[in-house]
Amino acid sequence: MTASSDNSVESKTSLSRLAPLEAVLFDIDGTLCDSDPLHHYAFREMLQEIGFNGGVPITEDFFVENIAGKHNDDIALILFPDDLQRGLKFVEDKEAMFRRLVGEQLKPVNGLYKLRKWIEDRGLKRAAVTNAPRANAELMVSILGLSDFFDTLIIGSDCEHAKPFPDPYLKALEVLKVSKDHTFIFEDSVSGISAGVAAGMPVVGLATRNPEHLLMEAQPAFLIKTYEDPKLWAALEELDKKGGAHTA
């Protein structure tokens, strides 16, 4: 019994069944860059300003549970259940504040450019898949110097359903013309991991901000702290040995 359970654990953390690899898909917020503190700051300041929650600033826990990784339409409904139009206007104003903050303070997750080189060297296709508004997504990708890296940018609002539904990741497969059996995903939120798993792909979860026990409930293949994590590079090396990638 122990041997077989060991094997199942081994296969859970392995990406080798994807060989030959065709594509890698990335979320943006919290996955390419640690932007959640900027989102939290903007929400906290603006909600406090309008007396939300009796003027008591929202906590990190409230942010993780109700905001992180969710689509703005859903956030508007959570924060302003009785006045959706006000909620939609609020999140729009909040995004403008976020874009002002992001220009000065956005930094890539450690090891991102090493991973970029690994992907480029193997000629893999790649897409950014996000619930963020297009203006935010394009700005962050540009600041990180990745505008030429991604073949396509898929926005949740452009799909019938945003994450946690699988639609944005399924659309990425369609646009890139690749198979879910030869593609994996990087994600940092419960919503995003759930979307990737529902789309039938293994998801490597980044524990940049969200609690590991919550991320694990969404069933990622495994979790890493940054792209320098030895666990990731062991999995990529194993993938290379098994048959590498479809080269362009």
Residue 12 confidence (pLDDT) above 70: no
Residue 39 has pLDDT above 90, yes or no: yes
- Cα separation of 7 and 15, whole Å? 14
What pLDDT sits at residue 61? 93
Q: Specify the higher pLDDT residue, 105 or 55.
A: 55
Lowest mean pLDDT among 14-18, 55-59, 81-85, 176-180: 14-18
Going by pLDDT thresholds of 50, 70 and 90, the confidence category of residue 11 is: low
**Chain segment 168-224, per-residue pLDDT in tens:** 999 999 999 999 999 999 999 999 999 999 999 999 999 998 999 999 999 999 999
DSSP H helices in 13-143 = 36-49, 60-66, 72-79, 84-105, 112-121, 134-143
Q: What is the pTM of this model?
A: 0.90
- Residue found by looking up tokens 């019994």 in the block: 1
Peptide bond into 108 cis (omega under 30): no
Q: Alpha-carbon distance 243 to 164, whole Å?
A: 31
Buried b (16+ CB within 10 A) or exposed e, 66-101: ebbbbbbebbbeebbeeeeeebbebbeebbebbbee
Question: From the CB of residue 55, how many other CB atoms can be counted at a distance below 10 Å?
Answer: 10
> What is the token pair recorded at 242?
């098994």
Tens digits of per-residue pLDDT, 218-248? 999 999 999 999 999 999 999 999 886 655 4
55 pLDDT more than 80: yes
Mean pLDDT of 74-96: 97
- Spatial CA neighbour of 201 closest among 234, 230, 239, 172: 172
Known catalytic residues are: 27, 29
